[in-house]
């Protein structure tokens, strides 16, 4: 109907299983590109000096209601 959309296939890749849920959470929070980039930047800064195995899962952080409550 003329509305932009994205079709994606996860091919059952374990790291992408929650992608649809994360996209819904982002929409529910009414985040735009600016807010999403703020979240990704904060995440990258937090993980910069963490060993890979100790890094928090970005998808899980986005799905929590209070993790990025100050993003506007």
User: How large a percentage of the chain has pLDDT more than 70?
Assistant: 99
Confidence of residue 2 (pLDDT cuts 50, 70, 90): confident
Domain residues for the domain of 4 are 1-72
For 18-22, what is the mean pLDDT? 92
> What global pTM score does this model have?
0.77
Integer angstrom CA distances of residue 20 from 27, 37, 62, 66: 11, 18, 12, 20
Q: How far is CA 14 from CA 11, 32, 35, 63, in A?
A: 9, 26, 26, 17
- Domain count for the chain: 1
Q: pLDDT averaged over the chain?
A: 89
Q: What is the mean pLDDT of residues 36-65?
A: 92
């Amino acid at each position: 109907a003329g509305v932009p959309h994205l079709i994606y296939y996860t091919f059952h890749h374990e790291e992408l299983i929650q992608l649809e849920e994360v996209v819904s959470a982002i929409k529910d929070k009414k985040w735009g590109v600016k807010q999403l980039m703020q979240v990704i930047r904060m995440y990258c800064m937090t993980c910069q000096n963490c060993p890979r195995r100790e890094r928090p899962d970005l998808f899980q952080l986005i799905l929590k209601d209070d993790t990025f409550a100050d993003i506007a």
